[in-house]
Structure formats: C-alpha cells, structure tokens
Amino acid sequence: MFSSFKKDFAASIVVFFVALPLCLGIALASGAPLFSGLIAGIVGGIVVGALSGSQIGVSGPAAGLAAIVLVAITALGGFENFIAAVVIAGFFQIAMGVLKLGIIGLYFPSSVIKGMLSGIGLIIIIKQIPYFFGYVGSGDQQVSDLFSLSSFELGAGLTGILSMIILLTWPKIQAKVPAFIQWVQAPLLAVIFGVIYVVFMSDGPWSIQADSLVSVPVIGESGGFESLIVFPNFDAFLRVDVWITAATIALVASLETLLCVEATDRLDPDKRVTPTNRELLAQGAGNIISGMIGGLPVTQVIVRSSANIQSGGKTKLSAIMHGFFLVISVLTIPDLLNLIPLSVLAAILLVVGYKLAKPELFIKMYQLGWKQFLPFITTIVFILATDLLTGIGVGLLVGVVVILIKSYQNSHFLHLEENHEGGDTYKMTLAEEVTFINKGAIQKELNALEENSFLELDVQQTRYLDHDIIEILNNFVERAKNKSINIKLISERGVVENPSDYSAIFYSKKHKN
C-alpha cells in the first residue's frame, strides 16, 4: 500500500506541474480571469477526484471548451452571468447521470478515440514549440517568427533544450542513482533546474524575461483571497439564454468527459473500467461548485490524465493530491511558481504530446487497413483544422459511413441451395436483429434473383425486423410475381407460400417491429 502511495505522490507532482500552466493558459484563451482556471483545476482535482469512480482520470478546465467559453462570456454580458450557466450545466450533468446516459461514450469507434488522442497530442506539440524555443510575442507572431533571431530569447530556449535532455535521460539513469532521490520524477527535476537557472541567470543576454515565466496571481498584491473569488449573478438564473448556454456546456463537457474516460481506460495499465454514470454525477457536482466560486467549467481531461498514467499514478489519490498542491502553491509560494520558465513547462508538455501521437501509432493504424485508418486520420485532420468536437464529429460520421459501406459489401444473406434447369433454389436466412444497415445488401440480393427461381426465406430466429426491411419485402412481392419467383416464408408461426403482406407476420407478439 505504501508503494502505491509513493507512486501516487510522485504522479501528483507531475500532474500538478502539467496542470498549472494549462489552467492558466485555458483561462487566458477563454477570455476569463486567470484565477478562474486555477479554481477549476482545484475543484477538478479535489471535488471531482473524490467523487469520481475513475482511478486515474484527472479533471480540470478543458481546452476543448475554450472557444465556447470565450463566445458565451461576451454573449451573456459578463463573466458573472457565464458562471451562472456553469452552475446550471452542473445540474444538467447530474440529471444525465441519474438518467444513466453515461453509455453515450461507448458508441464511439476506437479509431476515432485514438484519432482524438493523437490530434490532441499534435496540438500540444504545435502550441508548445514556440515556448520551448523561447520565442516571444503574440501567438501568431510566435509561429510566423519561428526562425527569426529577433524574437528568439536565448535563455528560455536554452532552458527548454536542457529540460528536454533531463526529461529524456533521467528515466534511463533513475534506477542507478541513490534510493533517496529515485522518487524524483523527470518533470519535477526539470522544473527545479528551470527555477535555479532563473535565479542565478537573472542578468545578461542569457537571462529569461518575465513574459517567458509562469504568471500566477499573488494574493498579497491583489488583496485577500476573497478578492479573487467571483460569485455568479443570481438574477441570470432566470434568463433563457443562460439556460441555453448551460445546456450547451453540459452536452459538450459530458461528451468530452465520456470520450476521455474511454481513452484513459484504454491507457490504464490495470485495465480498470470507469462507471460513466457516476462520472457524470461527479462532473456535475464539480461544475456546480466551480461555477459558484468563479471557476471555469470542468471536464475529465486527457492531457493531465495521460500524464498521471505515464507517471505511474495508481489510484484517485494522485488526482486529489494534485488539487491540494494547486491550493497550497497558490496560497504559499506564488512568487516561487512565477520563477518557472514557460520553456520548461513546454518541454514537459512536448513529451506528453509525443506519447499521445507516437509515429508508431500512425503506422499501426495504417497497417490495420483503410476501415480503421480513414476515421483515425480524418479525426486528426479536422481536430487540427477546426476544433476538438468538430474533429470528433466528422471522424464519427466517417466511421459510420465506413460501417455502412462494409455492411453493404460484406452482408451475404442469400445462398444457392440447388441448381437445376427448372429454376434455382435459394435460401435467405435473416439474423436475430435486422436493421436499416442491412437494407442495401438485402435489396441487392433480392434484385439478383433470376426468373423462375425459388426463394426460401427463413425468419425463425428473427426477433427484430426494421420497418425498412419489411417495406423492401412487401415491395418485392410484385416483382416476384412478374419474374415467376416462388417464395416460401418460414417463421415460428408456420410456413406461408408467396405471402402478400410481410408486416402481418412481424406484427405478432413474437416478432414486434
């Protein structure tokens, strides 16, 4: 048990250093107060972590919601109105959990989930490269000036490169160092190095400017702790537009959470299964509390969850402890946290991004064939070109189309029983459940029957027959007469020769449509 605690403690430190810049960055991208991102991280760790049934999932503010938050704050007329919507969204999620809607995430193909993971990994890599090399300026300038020495900060670039060396080499030598420092994980070592560098290289061309350091609000400078807490506008709870925004947040946040749950369960070395309905209840409670004290919406997030798994986290204790570390650090050592170079944090995130989007995964998905690769790569492309939810939606749509195509190509219901000059005899046996997905294949095979042939249609095992299939069979009646095709229908109700109305067979108590 103590061994598990040590792993959770070490993992919680890693998750803390991954979560800290993400909480601030997502708040900045959302047009919200920076402290609202930290509040969401704290609530996601402590509250959701305690209530969730996931042992390795970590919750907090999600980048996938940033665009929705940015628009909603303006549309609703202020941050106080927006967090009222966050509170209502929490109640919506609790209702979804009570109604047991957590199964939604199970209907997403694994190729789409893997595409989501890889897409997020690539986004992380793309977004962190400028910070890693020490480029300054706005986001657009960072990318466009990537090879311009005028925007290159030598000190930040150097710490980024050296931090990456630490991250890559420390795991290889960790077992060879004295036992009392083996617990130190590579990300923590990189952060310690970064802080020491900033302290001792405060002047000169190799120093790191304040814009390239973490910026955590310092309570002493901005008033007491209560001055950073924002409460919702309670009058906004009666506004229709606030409820519509709340429903949108609840739907998007729940979908992201369920997809992340599916993804983290796949990454979990112990292959544990998260109860999804309980997860919706936990997320709902988290959003109610986060909104009530001025925090952003929370979801389970793959970046922090994967960092937790990769760092050896075993139980939910790692997620809970990372939330307490956020509280303690913000209250006690904000000045020290503000000495951490962004390039060091970028190096940590680059490693996380690479593990999510390994080249080996692309090769493996390609080798599995186009049925797996097409939804996978489509999800990635649209995530990069648009946003997370659009990418997932388009990837899912492509996955459905692939299923329909392969169902049409591979469904063979018709089998030749006898071949003779008087007319061939065919047998068509329908499965226990026949839906519209089989519509094209059945239509194709019925149309292929030649004149003067015999068809034996066996539906004895069929418990559900889609109305679309019944329509096809009824429409085939006239064509069968014109082509002199004799049909024998075999069901549990008996044998019927050349039936004129198939719906009568399946509207019985046994075969309900």
Q: How many CA atoms lie within 13 A of 235 on its CB side?
A: 3
Overall average pLDDT of the 130-159 stretch: 67
pLDDT tens profile 66-90: 878 888 999 999 999 999 999 999 9
Tell me how far apart the 2 most distant CA atoms of the chain are, in Å: 99
With 0-12 / 13-18 / 19 or more C-beta atoms within 10 angstroms meaning exposed / middle / buried, residue 442 is buried
Give the whole-angstrom CA distance, residue 12 versus residue 6.
10
Spatial distance between the Cα atoms of 22 and 349, rounded to a whole number of angstroms: 10
**Identity of residue 320:** I
Determine which helix (DSSP H) or strand (DSSP E) holds 494, and give its type and residue range: strand 494-497
The values of phi and psi at residue 216, to 5°, are -100, 135
How far is Cα 461 from Cα 503, in angstroms, rounded to an integer? 16
Q: Using the predicted structure, report yes or no on whether residue 298 has a pLDDT greater than 90.
A: yes
- Strand ranges inside 97-192, DSSP E: none
User: pLDDT of 180-237, one tens digit each?
Assistant: 677 677 887 888 899 999 999 888 788 888 888 887 777 766 565 666 788 999 999 9
Q: What is the DSSP string of 23-50?
A: HHHHHHHTTS-HHHHHHHHHHIIIIIHH
- For 4, counting Cβ atoms within 10 Å of its Cβ (0-12 exposed, 13-18 middle, 19+ buried), the class is middle
Between CA 422 and CA 373 the distance in angstroms is: 48
Q: How many whole angstroms separate alpha carbon 193 and alpha carbon 356?
A: 25
Domain boundaries, the chain: 2-357, 414-506
> Closest by alpha carbon to 456, among 423, 481, 431, 428?
428
Do 291 and 36 form a contact (C-beta atoms < 8 A)? no
**Could you tell me the pLDDT band of residue 240, with boundaries at 50, 70 and 90?**
very high
- Which DSSP string corresponds to 234-289? GGGGG-HHHHHHHHHHHHHHHHHHHHHHHHHHHH-TT-----HHHHHHHHHHHHHH
Q: Give dist(CA 414, CA 118) in Å, integer.
A: 42
Residue identified by tokens 């069901």 is: 491
Q: Which residue has the higher pLDDT, 46 or 114?
A: 46
pLDDT higher than 90, residue 463: no
pLDDT band at 282 (very low <50, low <70, confident <90, very high): very high
Amino acid 206: pLDDT:
86
Question: What is the predicted pLDDT for the residue at 140?
Answer: 47
Mean pLDDT taken over the chain: 84
Task: Tell me which residue of 388, 424, 449, 478 sits closest to 116, measured CA to CA.
Answer: 388
Strands 59-61 and 414-418: unpaired
Give CATH for domain 414-506. 3.30.750.24
DSSP code for 358: -
Written as six digits, the tokens of 5 are 């605690």
Q: Distance between CA atoms of 471 and 469, rounded to whole angstroms?
A: 5
| CA gap 187, 202 in Å, rounded | 22
134 φ/ψ sector (left φ>0, alpha ψ -120 to 50, else beta): left
pTM above 0.85, yes or no: no
pLDDT band at residue 146 using 50, 70 and 90 as cut-offs: low
DSSP run (H or E) holding 501: none
Give the pair of three-digit tokens for residue 293: 């004290």
Residue 462, token pair as written in the block: 């069929």
Residue 302 phi/psi, 5° resolution?
-75, -35
Tell me, what amino acid is at 342? L
pLDDT of residue 234: 93
Give the total residue count for the chain: 513
Question: pLDDT tens digits for 336-365?
Answer: 888 988 888 888 888 888 888 899 999 999
pLDDT of res. 447: 85
Question: Which phi and psi (to 5°) does residue 135 adopt?
Answer: -85, 145
152-172 pLDDT per residue, tens: 788 888 999 999 999 999 888
Judged against a pLDDT cut of 70, whether residue 421 lies above it is answered with: no
Question: What contacts 467, CB < 8 A, 6 or more positions away?
Answer: 513
Cα separation of the two ends of the chain: 54
Three-state SS for 368-422 is CCHHHHHHHHHHHHHHHHCCHHHHHHHHHHHHHHHHHHHHHHHCCCEEEEECCCC
